[in-house]
Amino acid sequence: MTAKQPQDHKTPKNQPKTAEVMGVTLTVSPAIFDDLDMVEYLYDLQTAQTGDGTGAFAIVPFLKKLCGSQYDAMKNALRDPDTGRVSIEKVSDFITQLLEQVAPNSPRS
């Protein structure tokens, strides 16, 4: 049986979480997910494959809101040094890994 962590040692639910993903360190407040815009972005991203694909463009405002001032740093960290491009596949992996750390109960694409 695993020992339970005492209640006073748990990270408070509303406390920002810091995560390092693919060389980018971000501090994300859980409150950001208590925002209809963010829920809409996540919905658009989740349903992009079953609709006409336009929901995929929600990735840009979603990342800008999630990363805040670190948005450009995130893009540069994910940029391929040979091509200069930031692949959507790498961005998708980044989002998945980041959400696993800062919002473990959120839906994944």
pTM: 0.76
- Percent of the chain clearing pLDDT 70 (strictly above): 83
Range of the domain at 93: 25-102
| Residue 75: inside a domain | yes
Please report whether residue 19 resides in a domain: no
Residue 18 lies in a domain: no
Residue 5 within any structural domain of the chain: no
pLDDT tens for each residue of 20-54? 999 999 999 888 889 999 999 988 888 887 777 77
Number of Cβ within 10 Å of residue 21's Cβ equals 20
The number of domains in the chain is 1
In a domain, 97, yes or no: yes
> Is residue 69 in a domain?
yes
Q: Which helix (H) or strand (E) holds 66?
A: helix 59-67
Mean pLDDT of 64-89: 95
Side chain identity, residue 59? I
Q: Considering the domain boundaries, does residue 16 fall inside one?
A: no
